[in-house]
Amino acid sequence: AAGVIQSPRHLIKEKRETATLKCYPIPRHDTVYWYQQGPGQDPQFLISFYEKMQSDKGSIPDRFSAQQFSDYHSELNMSSLELGDSALYFCASSLVLQETQYFGPGTRLLVL
């Protein structure tokens, strides 16, 4: 079965640079979620989108922004990167009103 696709899988950036992470949900899923997992930590919710509109917002820094496009894929844009942004970033998708979220493999971001 098709799963959530994230790209790139690994990303290395310097401090103050910009990064863009992409997420392609499971076909026919209309809701996308972003989570950040720091080293040895549990995943923390950042933001979610339903039908291209932001539906919920968590602990997402102002330096980060995200959007969902007409084909339901989503992008997380991260600017002025800091060392503390080094983490595993997960995207998950679901059908609205179905609470089961299916996670992608994650993008591992390292900020040097």
Partner 1 sequence: GNSVTQMEGPVTLSEEAFLTINCTYTATGYPSLFWYVQYPGEGLQLLLKATKADDKGSNKGFEATYRKETTSFHLEKGSVQVSDSAVYFCALSDRRDDKIIFGKGTRLHILP
**To the nearest whole angstrom, how small is the minimum distance from the Cβ of residue 16 to partner 1?**
28
**To the nearest whole angstrom, how small is the minimum distance from the Cβ of residue 79 to partner 1?**
23
Q: Is 106 in the site for partner 1 (CB under 8 A)?
A: yes
DSSP H stretches of helix in the chain: none
Span near partner 1 by CB under 8 A; candidates 17-25, 42-50, 62-70, 74-82: 42-50
Scanning the structure block, which residue is given the tokens 């790139």?
8
Q: Is 100 in the site for partner 1 (CB under 8 A)?
A: yes
**To the nearest whole angstrom, how small is the minimum distance from the Cβ of residue 22 to partner 1?**
15
Task: Give the single-character DSSP code of 26.
Answer: P
Scanning the structure block, which residue is given the tokens 């299916």?
102
Q: Is 53 in the site for partner 1 (CB under 8 A)?
A: no
Give dist(CA 76, CA 90) in Å, integer. 10
> What H or E segment, with its residue span, contains residue 21?
strand 19-24
Q: Is 105 in the site for partner 1 (CB under 8 A)?
A: yes
**To the nearest whole angstrom, how small is the minimum distance from the Cβ of residue 105 to partner 1?**
4
Where are the extended beta strands (E) located within 8-101? 10-13, 19-24, 31-37, 44-50, 53-57, 64-68, 74-78, 87-94
Chain residues binding partner 1 by CB under 8 A are 31, 33, 35, 41-45, 48, 50, 55-56, 58, 90, 92, 99-106
